[in-house]
Chain A
Amino acid sequence: MNFDFTDDQHAIKRTAKEFLAARYKPERLRELAEAGEYDDAVWAEMAELGWAGIFIDEQHGGQGLGIVELVILMEELGYALAPSPFFANAAAGLVLQGAGTDEQKQRWLPGIASGEGTGTVGVLRDGGAPLVPDADTAAVLVLLDENGGGTVVTGADAEIEPRATIDSTRRFSSVRATGGEPLGSDTEGARAAICTALAAELTGVAQRAMEMAVEYAKDRKQFDRPIGAYQAVSHRCAQMLLEVEGARSTTYYAGWAADNEPESLPLAASMAKAYASDAGWRVTASSLQVHGGIGFTWEHDLHFFLKRAKTDGHLFGGAREHRDRVAGLALRSGAAVGA
């Protein structure tokens, strides 16, 4: 039993943290978020580093690594709050690699892996996908239906309407499409891997918001004392740590299950997404409370984190939906209880 990354995985994490901290300094982040833009040069660098295809097979142009490596990158992207098409593109890669036909894989995975022809995934509801990340620039779109299947369409075949969300660090659209090519197989595993990736991003966002709160609580003085000396504040910070660590543990476990124990993945991923969706919101909201009035201002960066966390929490099923799925598994077979 060893619940730790390998040396290589630690190296990926270190590199990602340093790279993203250098590229997305707070001023730059704000500039991009306020303009609603990504930095194409940074995306090209990420692709150069092999990030875009980190989990994609080598035969399709990827690095041939696993979901744990994807989790590592997503956590750091969340920590840096990177405005980037990384997630949307990875989601498309996960579905096509997991459920695409051979032909679909050959056609789309190399572009996704190199970052030159990005993809995205939407979840259909009443015939359209209401909130699809980075659909406006995607070369290929996968639309998942309610029965575990999905279709593949090109940008040219889809009606894409940009939508403003509270999260200005990313771009979203609604998508409608008729026709398209059905996927080759069931998407359950791919959906679970997508949820795991989002849980990882939420963990990173929450970690950063907690660090901001702790730093502020040490510096900010009221009644001649740092506010972090008051239990109302320090206990709130301790609660943040509990939730961040819980989100991290369930997410890493789901990543490990995806690579090593796929039969455990659907449950593990739903637990991770449920827990991290709540933790992402509660920790960022709690961090805002610790910051007081300044945290509510546009001028402070915290709101970008809070809004991204809220948005991630609702993508690919919110906490309520995933908790219900966990309960269903427990009540049906008892397997989820696992004593």
Chain B
Amino acid sequence: MDLTLSPKEQAFRDELRAWMEANHPGEEPEGDEAAFEFRTAWQRKCHEDGWAGISWPKEFGGRGATLIEQAIFNEETVRAKAPAQANVLALAMGGPTVITHGSEEQKQRFLDPILSADEIWCQGFSEPDSGSDLASLKTRAVKSNGGWKVTGQKVWTTFAHHAKWCMLVARTDQDAPKHQGLTYFLMDMEQEAVQVRPLVQITGEAEFNELFIEEAEIPDENVVGGVGNGWGVAITTLMHERATLAFGLQVQVKIALAELVQLVRDEGLDDDPVIRQRIGQLVTEAEVLRLNAYRGLTQIMKTGVPGPEGSLGKWHWSDVNQSLTETAMEVRGPEAPVVDGEWTYRFLRARANSIEGGTTEILKNIVAERVLGLPKLR
């Protein structure tokens, strides 16, 4: 057991830290457009200096980093409060999917513009009537001359209003069993047939969109992984980065925790026994997040298969983050509901944590069925 970094890993961290410090672009500007521009510029800078596509193989323009290095990258980005790279969905999911399942032509066509942020991607999986039950989706693609015509509706589509490409899963065979009639497409967002409408959330922001698709055209060469194989390809997309996602999240929690501790001091509640119990619990839970992530990573490196810790991470993180922001509200007392651009926003935004990227209920089902081997109800 060795919880310190190897000299090679430490060197990676040192190099990255020095680079981040020298190139940090400062505070993100307000406003969706300006913020997105800022993130795009940041990704270009990262790409120029070899820090985009950290875990992508070198032959496709990536850095070929190990899982640990990817985890370190995620940690350091959050620790430095550096911006997110604009094309985050393509870097984390779309690109790796094309690398794994795509044709030679697709690799040539799509990978470079992802790294350079010239073409932004979004992900069209969820639908109004099929969120957790992906296999029940209804958006349909009908064969036409040299391609497909797609009609349907998608929802919770992050970055759709900036995106050039959409990773879209649609039903191509109405008669096949639920999982087998699906195909994974890359849909051009720049066509009349695709309408994007922002969804305003309880925070007042619009991070997500609805997508209305009316006979959109997708050529045959934009099918990834073969017609009817969409389920398997989509699963690959969802699997990518899960292993290292937790590392960024746990650092985010630790940074928020440091701010909460400062808030407790500012409010003069250092000796309040109830608040102390909450802080002691949160500090411990944040450490559990970090250590479970480390153990999960060790397991993957050893066996190639994520251990049980991996399945627990996202669910546990949402519990901890919600409880952290609730504690902050408690500490602020009568000031809590006042909009301060900081804690009230985080408090409201955290309500999405147990829904986005797989609800806590679904994650518990996965743990119960696949890790503990309990029977399915169906």
Chain A interfacial positions (CB closer than 8 Å to B): 1-6, 9, 68, 214, 217-218, 225-226, 228-231, 233-235, 237-239, 241-242, 245-246, 248-250, 252-253, 255-256, 260-261, 271, 274-275, 320, 322-328, 330-331, 334, 336-339
Interface centre among B251, B255, B265, B276 (most CB of A within 10 A): B276
* B206 interface residue per 8 A CB criterion: no
A328 to B79, CA, bound (A): 24
A238 and B261 form a contact (CB under 8 A): no
B376 and A229 form a contact (CB under 8 A): yes
A250 and B288 form a contact (CB under 8 A): yes
B283 and A336 form a contact (CB under 8 A): yes
Residue from the list A2, A218, A256, A334 in contact with B261, Cβ < 8 A: A334
Task: Write the chain A residue with the least CB distance to B319.
Answer: A242
A229 and B377 form a contact (CB under 8 A): yes
* B32 interface residue per 8 A CB criterion: no
B291 and A337 form a contact (CB under 8 A): no
A1 and B9 form a contact (CB under 8 A): yes
- Write the nearest CB–CB distance from B40 to chain A, whole angstroms: 27
- Write the nearest CB–CB distance from B65 to chain A, whole angstroms: 14
- Cβ contacts under 8 Å, A214 to chain B: 372-374
Interface centre among B284, B294, B315 (most CB of A within 10 A): B284
B284 and A235 form a contact (CB under 8 A): no
Given A3-B295, A339-B251: A242 in contact with B316 (beta carbons within 8 A) = yes
Majority secondary structure of chain B interface residues (helix, strand, loop or mixed)? helix
A275 to B361, CA, bound (A): 23
- Cβ contacts under 8 Å, B376 to chain A: 229
Given A237-B372, A242-B312, A330-B279: A4 in contact with B302 (beta carbons within 8 A) = yes
* B368 interface residue per 8 A CB criterion: yes
* B204 interface residue per 8 A CB criterion: no
- Cβ contacts under 8 Å, A239 to chain B: 364
Given A275-B288, A334-B258: A249 in contact with B309 (beta carbons within 8 A) = yes
A252 to B295, CA, bound (A): 10
Chosen A-B contacts, 8 in total, with CB atoms closer than 8 Å, are: A1-B4, A6-B1, A238-B365, A241-B372, A275-B288, A336-B283, A337-B283, A338-B254
B254 and A231 form a contact (CB under 8 A): no
- Write the nearest CB–CB distance from B20 to chain A, whole angstroms: 15
Interface centre among B68, B288, B308 (most CB of A within 10 A): B288
- Cβ contacts under 8 Å, B298 to chain A: 1-4
- Write the nearest CB–CB distance from A191 to chain B, whole angstroms: 17
Residue from the list B257, B285, B309 in contact with A245, Cβ < 8 A: B309
A241 and B312 form a contact (CB under 8 A): yes
Chain B interfacial positions (CB closer than 8 Å to A): 1-6, 9, 68, 79, 251, 254-255, 257-258, 261-262, 264-265, 270, 273, 276-277, 279-281, 283-288, 291-292, 294-295, 297-299, 301-302, 308-309, 312, 315-316, 361, 364-365, 367-369, 371-377
- Cβ contacts under 8 Å, A248 to chain B: 295
A324 and B280 form a contact (CB under 8 A): yes
Beyond A234-B368, A255-B1, list 7 extra A-B contacts (CB 8 Å).
A1-B2, A235-B368, A246-B285, A248-B295, A256-B1, A260-B4, A337-B286
A148 to B226, CA, bound (A): 68
Majority secondary structure of chain A interface residues (helix, strand, loop or mixed)? helix
Task: Write the chain A residue with the least CB distance to B261.
Answer: A330
A231 to B372, CA, bound (A): 13
Task: Write the chain B residue with the least CB distance to A5.
Answer: B1
Given A235-B361, A271-B283: A337 in contact with B257 (beta carbons within 8 A) = yes
A338 to B253, CA, bound (A): 11
- Cβ contacts under 8 Å, A338 to chain B: 254, 287
A151 to B279, CA, bound (A): 34
Task: Write the chain A residue with the least CB distance to B254.
Answer: A339
B291 and A250 form a contact (CB under 8 A): yes
A339 to B281, CA, bound (A): 16
- Cβ contacts under 8 Å, A261 to chain B: 3
- Write the nearest CB–CB distance from B12 to chain A, whole angstroms: 11
Residue from the list A218, A225, A326 in contact with B373, Cβ < 8 A: A218
Task: Write the chain A residue with the least CB distance to B264.
Answer: A331
A246 and B292 form a contact (CB under 8 A): yes
A249 to B292, CA, bound (A): 6
Residue from the list A3, A233, A255, A328 in contact with B276, Cβ < 8 A: A328
A255 to B3, CA, bound (A): 11
B287 and A250 form a contact (CB under 8 A): yes
Interface centre among A2, A226, A256 (most CB of B within 10 A): A2
A235 to B368, CA, bound (A): 7
Given A271-B283, A330-B279: A3 in contact with B291 (beta carbons within 8 A) = yes
- Write the nearest CB–CB distance from A79 to chain B, whole angstroms: 17
- Cβ contacts under 8 Å, B2 to chain A: 1-2, 256, 260
B276 and A324 form a contact (CB under 8 A): yes
A4 to B369, CA, bound (A): 25
A238 to B5, CA, bound (A): 31
- Cβ contacts under 8 Å, B285 to chain A: 246, 275
A261 to B258, CA, bound (A): 23
A320 to B279, CA, bound (A): 12
Residue from the list A1, A237, A250, A337 in contact with B254, Cβ < 8 A: A337
Given A4-B302, A214-B374, A337-B257: A326 in contact with B364 (beta carbons within 8 A) = no
A339 and B276 form a contact (CB under 8 A): no
A336 to B261, CA, bound (A): 10
A252 to B288, CA, bound (A): 11
- Cβ contacts under 8 Å, B364 to chain A: 231, 234-235, 238-239
Interface centre among B9, B258, B302, B374 (most CB of A within 10 A): B374
Residue from the list B281, B286, B297, B301 in contact with A323, Cβ < 8 A: B281
Task: Write the chain A residue with the least CB distance to B6.
Answer: A1
- Cβ contacts under 8 Å, A218 to chain B: 373-375
Task: Write the chain A residue with the least CB distance to B68.
Answer: A1
A6 to B68, CA, bound (A): 19
B287 and A339 form a contact (CB under 8 A): no
- Write the nearest CB–CB distance from A291 to chain B, whole angstroms: 15
A217 and B374 form a contact (CB under 8 A): yes
- Cβ contacts under 8 Å, A68 to chain B: 1
Given A68-B1, A231-B377, A326-B284: A245 in contact with B308 (beta carbons within 8 A) = yes
Task: Write the chain B residue with the least CB distance to A259.
Answer: B1
A225 to B374, CA, bound (A): 12
B277 and A323 form a contact (CB under 8 A): yes
Task: Write the chain A residue with the least CB distance to B368.
Answer: A234
B261 and A331 form a contact (CB under 8 A): yes
- Cβ contacts under 8 Å, A255 to chain B: 1
